Amino acid sequence: MAKLSDPLKARVLQALTGRDEGEPPWVAELEKGDDEGFFGPGSAVWAVHGDMPTLVAGIRALLTQALHPGAMAGVHDHSRYREDPFGRLAGTIRWIFTVSYGSRADAEHASAWVLRLHEKVTGVYEGPDGEPIPYAANQPDLLRWVHLAFTDAFLGVHEVWGRPIPGGPDAYVREWAKAGELMGVQDPPRSRAELHEQMHAYLDSGQLRHDERVADVIRFLKTPPLAPSLRPTYPLLWNGAVASLDDEFRIALKLRRPIGPAVPATAAVLQATGRLLGTMPGAEKAARTRLARLRAAAV
């Protein structure tokens, strides 16, 4: 049975990390930090980011982020998501896990590196009346929107398919606010109510919109260039992401609620993937090794 599952595991790892076996080198580096990090065992962040629903959260986050025309323009003008979608995914996963499981110094360094990359992401997009609107990836409203969409996606799918969160949903939003601050977000939300209020403020103000660029990203996310062995289950993850969206944002994306038992079908895929990959992320193992070393040194 193990031999039969090995090729499938390799395909999943290739899609997520860019490697078909072993951990990426940056995971081992998380063992070497000299402080305990911003989060740790028992934190809401470890509970959410170490669980299988993150596979659905990534899809939902990209869908929601695309509704902001400035964020969409940055992806359209500067991203190589069509040519190298899994390279971009691996880079995002590296940042998430470094902030979640790494030392404070590593989390700060990784975030500063992303911000430096964003300095080149500038341009102009067309406003609702055809007027040119300048954008920059590091401008405050775009940084905030990306943080809100990420937090909402990871919390939203975890509440559907994940295990209980230590401290509840508010604890996750409060803890992950640190990641927003590292990325330059001023006063990020610190409760689920604040998160929803700030997200709906974008929607109610008319800043979000669906256009052909958004439709193009939706088509790509619905049928990405996966290995043949992953194609049968991906539609179930896609349906789960769409089903988990708040109605207002699903309607804004012009997506229909999936027909059929999307939630239990997605749960089955997540459970099978968990059995395939194992229950503890390599980044968490590295973090626990670092924490044990620091505790031993303090004795």
pLDDT for position 24 = 82
**Which tokens belong to 290?**
């670092």
Helix (H, G, I), strand (E, B) or coil at 126: strand
Has residue 280 got a pLDDT over 50?
yes
Amino acid residing at 265: A
- pLDDT per position as a tens digit, 132-173: 999 999 999 999 999 999 999 999 999 999 999 999 999 999
Contacts of residue 116, Cβ cutoff 8 Å, sequence gap at least 6: none
Could you tell me the residue range of the domain that residue 238 belongs to?
Answer: 2-298
Q: What is the pLDDT of residue 1?
A: 36
Distance of CA 144 to the CA centre of its chain: 14
Q: How confident is the model at residue 273 (pLDDT cuts 50, 70, 90)?
A: confident
Task: Tell me the C-alpha distance between 96 and 94, whole Å.
Answer: 6
119: helix, strand or coil: coil
Q: Does the pLDDT value for residue 93 go beyond 50?
A: yes
Cβ(213)–Cβ(126) below 8 Å = no
For the stretch 102-142, pLDDT in tens is 999 999 999 999 999 999 999 999 888 888 999 999 999 99
Are 70 and 139 a contacting pair, CB within 8 Å? Answer: yes
Q: What is the pTM of this model?
A: 0.91
Residues whose CB is less than 8 angstroms from the CB of residue 246 and which lie 6 or more positions away in sequence, other chains included: 156
CA contacts within 13 A on the Cβ side of 48: 32
| Gap between the terminal Cα atoms of the chain | 45
Bridge pairing between strands 122-126 and 132-136 = antiparallel
pLDDT at 6 over 80: no
For residue 53, pLDDT beyond 70 = yes
Question: Which residues partner with 136 through β-bridges?
Answer: 122
On the 0-12 / 13-18 / 19+ scale of CB atoms within 10 A, 164 is: exposed
What whole-number distance in Å separates Cα of residue 202 and Cα of residue 184? 18
Checking if the pLDDT of 34 tops 90, the result is yes
For 179-236, the pLDDT digits (tens) are: 999 999 999 999 999 999 999 999 999 999 999 999 999 999 999 888 888 888 999 9
The residues pairing with 133 across neighbouring beta strands, listed in sequence order, are: 125
Domain count, the chain: 1
User: What pLDDT was estimated at residue 162?
Assistant: 96
